[in-house]
Chain A
Amino acid sequence: MNNIINDIRDKARQLLAEGKVDVVIGYEKGSLPLKATPFFAHSPAEVDSLIWDETCENNLATYVAKTPGKKAIVAKGCDSRALAVLLQENQLVRDDLYIIGVSCTGVIDQRKIVAEVGEILEAGINDGKISVKGMAGDKEYLFAELKDATCQTCRYPNPVLEDVHLGETIAVSQEAPAFADVIALEEQSAGERQDYFKEQMSKCIRCYACRNACPLCYCQECFVDCNSPRWLTGGVNRAENLFFQAGRVLHLAGRCVDCGACTRACPQGVDIRALNRKMTKDVYTMYNHEAGISEDGKPALNEYTTNDPEQFLVKE
């Protein structure tokens, strides 16, 4: 892992020194334990802050379109898929972008730790073991135990789009996605699902952290901020929360790359992914489309065939 960090720093230093890019977007150590934070290196002197490990949970594609000039980005699999969708949608200029690809073994889901040991005071990562000192006790975890849900079923740990690859690639089975989590929900009755989402939505405080963390939520004006028409009143209740989440998920249908950034950014632990995954599954089964696996092509909802399934039509 240390070798990769050195490789990333060397590459970033080289790119900045040669003037190929104005900024390198990567991660630095955050101010809280087990948190990495996005870092923008503008000069070769700054690159030694760059890191790469299992705490690099943000999707850096979020910052690319907002960053002016030529930029290099440290991209894991899901970041590169988000970049691919952004390129498909003409939000980025490929020539202004240098992608430093790194393979990702997954990121840590802090919620699992906080649930057991309370607030994390200190933590260290050593050889795939994570030792945590928490408010309510200490514990040592294996990385596999803490892996984020989205990383457990990740099919694209290696970047789909890159200018250079650092470190080893990860072998992964390319079987069709299974969607066990979605199927488990689908098998419940409509009432049970309604109760589940009611419970989830009553947790939401509409801070919009999910929207801000999402690399593909780039609307100039989000529908929640729109005054005319006014879709939402601004009050926080589960009906409006579901309106927001369902509206957001429908905007992301056929585009979501399932990076899980929204769910990790949520301070309330709302299962946002349950909605996104349902759409991902539907798009995959109905239109045989996976978002952002290549630079070419279009998002699923920008295309059509004359024989798309029509089970949704009213029964007559």
Chain B
Amino acid sequence: MGEIQVEAENKKYEPKIAAFLCNWCSYAGADLAGVGRVQYPATIRTIRVPCSGRINPLYVLKAMANGADGVLVSGCHPGDCHYISGNYVARRKFALIKSLLNHVGLEEDRISFSWVSAAEGIRFAEVVKGVTERVSALGPNNGIFKVVDDGGAAADE
């Protein structure tokens, strides 16, 4: 009985992914996917930001701390930024965020960065599919930033 239940729960497991999408490209890309009725997993929780350059590293950390199983950050392709250079400066920041989080032992696939344009509705769906698959494979966030009741002290014992 117990085992069957566990299996049923496992099947139901859908990761929750915080998706930070820039207003001008990726958000419009997601919109296009919707308008075009392109199917993709309902795992992302979209947070619209004015530009990928607006993304504060703390947003990514806070999403993980609040229990997101994964984070997807997406903006305009380099060279296409609505604000000319927002995603160029963001790119340096993203590289360092990813590198630091891997260094402290966060799984590589928890945090994903991508460039999706407003015309790439189908590609947006592909990106979400890919990210969902990889985060599902990792399982729930029991990671190092999640503030669960005791800050992970119980898991350490």
Contact = CB atoms under 8 A, between A and B. Distances in A.
- Which residue among B89, B95, B102, B113 has the maximum number of chain A CB atoms within 10 Å of its CB? B95
Interface in A269-316: 275, 278-279, 282-283, 286-287, 300-306, 308-316
Contact of A246 (B89, B100, B156): B100
A235 B103 contact: no
A244 to B, nearest CB: 9
B152 A237 contact: yes
A247 interface: yes
B95 A301 contact: no
Contact of B153 (A190, A238, A306): A238
A314 B93 contact: no
Given A190-B107, A247-B61, A304-B89, A316 B99 contact: no
B88 A306 contact: yes
A309 B95 contact: yes
B144 A314 contact: no
B22 interface: no
Nearest to A300: B92
Contacts of A279: 96, 99-100
Nearest to B104: A197
A198 B105 CA distance: 9
A198 to B, nearest CB: 7
Interface in A176-196: 185-186, 190-191, 193-196
- Which residue among B91, B130, B148 has the maximum number of chain A CB atoms within 10 Å of its CB? B91
A231 B99 CA distance: 21
B97 interface: yes
Given A193-B103, A275-B103, A306-B78, A239 B147 contact: yes
Nearest to B153: A237
A250 interface: yes
Contacts of B91: 304, 308, 310
A185 B96 CA distance: 17
B24 interface: no
Nearest to B115: A313
B14 interface: no
A2 interface: no
A40 B37 CA distance: 69
Contacts of B72: 314
A239 B96 contact: no
B62 interface: yes
Contact of B85 (A196, A223, A304, A310): A304
B121 to A, nearest CB: 15
B89 A302 contact: yes
B61 A246 contact: yes
A149 B18 CA distance: 39
A308 B146 CA distance: 31
A122 B147 CA distance: 44
A223 B59 CA distance: 12
Given A190-B107, A254-B96, 18 more contacts: A190-B102, A194-B106, A198-B156, A229-B62, A239-B152, A240-B65, A243-B62, A243-B145, A246-B57, A253-B96, A253-B100, A275-B100, A282-B96, A303-B89, A306-B79, A308-B88, A312-B113, A314-B130
- In the A-B complex, list the 4 residue pairs whose CB atoms are closest, starting with the nearest: A237-B151, A194-B105, A304-B88, A312-B98
